[in-house]
Each structure stands twice: as structure tokens, then as C-alpha cells.
Amino acid sequence: MPLLRPLSRGLLALIIAATLAGCGFHLRGVGSGNLPYKTMHIALPDTAEVNIWLQRYIKASGSTTIVDEAKEADAIFQQLSDTRQKTILSVNAQGRVREYRLQLDYRFRVVNQKGQVLVPANEINLSRDITFDDSNVLAKDLEEGLLWRDMNNDLVNQIMRRLSIIKPKNPDAEDDDQ
């Protein structure tokens, strides 16, 4: 009987693993989606955080090559807007700030070499709330920096998911909707 218990536990673990694998479960991330472009140019300054993180994620996906010249690219990633703001969310009885809201609004699109739209404008809106304490200004400053970094990471993850899921339009094909 003692041999039966480890065997049944192993069998149970195998059944659970097979069930999870069979249902399509996988961890969230960029590994699942390859981009539908062979080459891509990111039309952002080299020092822009979004550019740096996008390049890392695209190189990690392995199917798309980043090129320096837009003329050499099948697709050109264009940032349409990047708005970041910090607003007061609540104040205490003395009129001092208790909470802030950090908001990031980002719009982008993908075009080809001729400027024809492959992926229409997409908007991503992120927000995080942060408490504030006058006695811990340095710690709260650090926390705010970490939240902005987390929001950037989340932004790039969402961009990558959208680029891998959205089927690009063929700009040369005539629209049948008209």
C-alpha cells in the first residue's frame, strides 16, 4: 500500500498537467505571439523607454528583425501620442494630498513604407493610484518611479499582444465595404 500513494500522486499530477496543457493555458507574456512582419522600424528616438522595451520584446519573439531605416522595413511602428499625468485623487481634512492618480494614455499605429495604414490607431489607457505621506517623501518618490516603470512594462506588453493578435490590413486591396 505505501507504494500506491506516490504512484497515485504522480498520476494525479500528470492528469492535472495534461488538462492544463490541453485547455490552452499558458502564462501571460509575449512568448506566445510572433509578429506578422519580417522587418520592423520603430519611429521613436533611440533613448525613448518605449523604443528600448519594444526592441527587447521584439528581439525576444525572434520572428521579426528591427531595422534602422524605414525604407528597409515591412512595417513602421509610429507613436501618435504619449500623455502622462499625475492628478490629485484625494485630500485629507487639512487640505494635504492623500492620494495621487498616475495616468498614461498612449496611441500608436503601424504603416508600411508608402505610409499606408497596416494597423489602425490603437489607444492604451493605464492608471495607478498611489498614496502620499509628507513624512515619507523619498520613499513615495521611489514608489512613484516604480509605478511608472511598471506602467511602461504593462504598456509594452499590451502593444506586443495587440501587434501579434491584430491581423494587418492589406492596403493594396480595395475596400469592399463601400
Ramachandran region, residue 62 (left: φ > 0; alpha: ψ -120 to 50; beta: rest)? left
- The pLDDT tens digits for 151-175 are 999 999 999 999 888 777 776 665 4
Crossing angle for the helix pair 49-61 and 137-165, nearest 10 degrees? 50
For the chain, strand residue ranges (E) read 39-43, 65-66, 75-91, 97-111, 117-131
Cell numbers representing residue 142 in the block: 521611489
Q: DSSP assignment, residue 175? A: P
How far apart CA 164 and CA 31 sit, in angstroms, is 10
Mean pLDDT, the chain, integer: 84
pLDDT at 20: 67
* Nearest in space to 67 (alpha carbons), one of 90, 84, 88, 42: 42
How far apart CA 166 and CA 113 sit, in angstroms, is 19
Q: How far is CA 40 from the centre of its chain?
A: 17
* Nearest in space to 124 (alpha carbons), one of 80, 79, 155: 155
Ramachandran region, residue 81 (left: φ > 0; alpha: ψ -120 to 50; beta: rest)? beta
Ranking 61-75, 104-118, 156-170 by mean pLDDT, the lowest is: 156-170
Tell whether the model's pLDDT for residue 18 goes beyond 80.
Answer: no
Domains in the chain: ranges and CATH: 28-165 (3.30.160.150)
- The pLDDT tens digits for 44-58 are 998 999 999 999 999
How far apart CA 120 and CA 112 sit, in angstroms, is 12
How far apart CA 18 and CA 12 sit, in angstroms, is 10
Going by DSSP bridges, is the β-strand pair 39-43/75-91 parallel, antiparallel, or unpaired? parallel
Residue, of 15 and 91, whose pLDDT is higher: 91
Binning pLDDT at 50, 70 and 90, where does residue 21 land?
A: low
Ranking 32-46, 110-124, 133-147 by mean pLDDT, the lowest is: 32-46
CA 62-64-65 angle, to 5 degrees, is 105
Q: What is the pTM of this model?
A: 0.73
Q: DSSP assignment, residue 108? A: E
